[in-house]
Amino acid sequence: MVWKVLGGLLVLWLVVSVAGALVKGLFWLAVIGGVLFVATAAIGWAKDKKQIKP
């Protein structure tokens, strides 16, 4: 369930980033989308690290 939500967010942020890059006046949208993409990926990575038990 968590992976579906994180995957959906990653796709959403990627679409926002690409849309912002394509529309010249919305460069800020690309920046925000990129930041949110990295943040979501970092959260997913951190949650994955917590679940791994030696």
pTM, to two decimals: 0.52
pLDDT reading at 2 higher than 70: no
Q: Domain coordinates of the chain in residue numbers?
A: 2-49
Residue 54, C-beta contacts closer than 8 angstroms, at least 6 positions apart: none
Answer yes or no: are the C-beta atoms of 13 and 29 closer than 8 Å.
no
Could you tell me the pLDDT band of residue 54, with boundaries at 50, 70 and 90?
Answer: low
Residue 28, C-beta contacts closer than 8 angstroms, at least 6 positions apart: 20
